[in-house]
Chain A
Amino acid sequence: MKEELRKALPANTQNDIRTIRALVKRIEGGQTSALPELRQAIDCTPAIMEDYGNLAKITERSLIRTIYGGDILAEEATRKKLKAMREGIIGDDASPLVRLLVERVAICWLQVHHLDTVYAQQMVNLSNRQQEFYQRSQERAHRRYMSAIRTLAQVKRLELPTLQINLSADKQINLIDGQHIS
């Protein structure tokens, strides 16, 4: 399944993300001289974001199929729930980055939901090995879900458009997100 998804992602996107990952690691490690290189590499992120947005949709379809295995009604209900969840979070003028982060939150939620459902359905029949595996997977999935929400909230907060209009030398109006604050 994972291989299938890898094939869905263009090879150059996979290379670009590897390059960006290495640059981010260098900059976060203190090598700020790599910033111009990152700016150059990041020029291709709209295409990368689109590819990963598509990948998120494929992953979603695949996960839903794995959870419900052809139960069309349940599959459709989950799709609707995800759609409502996205619409509730995204808002009207979300940037491509926020959209991608919302996709990530949705996928992480779906995985948590998947593990909870499967665990609840099969709990009685699970061997010790399976129980342990499920519990660890649930913990990891839950951590990822929480972290995805946290990052989304941070980015949304940082992305608030701030507009400053200087009327004259001694008069100034500051607007944040369309609201007059001073």
Chain B
Amino acid sequence: MAWELRNGCGPYYTRSIRRGRQVIRQYVGKGLLGEQAAQADVEMRLERDAKQQEETESLALLKSSEGMVIDLYDAVETITRAQLLQAGYHRHNRSEWRKRR
């Protein structure tokens, strides 16, 4: 989004819009109309950024809670395997635990 001077006139408010692979420069206008459009764009951008921030934070929270469950899960798995191994059990190719003969 920008204010541009064209042939020494303006400034005109313009915005860039992506249509597929193309980026199109859209002319909005000057004066009050341009200012209102600029203000609306700023608000829209702020709202979009806030939503993105919220999304990132919620995903980070999920990742973090998954991380702590995985830590606990892995530690319990290690303890279990250690206990079974030292009690004389073994497992072949991740199959059932069996007592070593």
Contact = CB atoms under 8 A, between A and B. Distances in A.
B79 A97 contact: yes
Contacts, number: 110
B22 interface: no
B68 A1 contact: yes
Interface stretch (A20-28, A85-93, A172-180): A20-28
A24 B62 contact: no
A35 B76 contact: no
Contacts of B3: none
Contacts of A48: 75, 79
Nearest to A151: B80
A21 B55 contact: no
Given A39-B86, A158-B89, A137 B66 contact: yes
Interface of B: 55, 58-59, 61-62, 64-86, 89, 91, 96-97
22 contacts: A1-B68, A2-B68, A2-B71, A5-B71, A6-B71, A17-B78, A17-B79, A24-B85, A28-B85, A38-B86, A39-B86, A56-B72, A59-B72, A63-B69, A103-B76, A111-B69, A115-B62, A118-B62, A129-B59, A148-B73, A154-B96, A154-B97
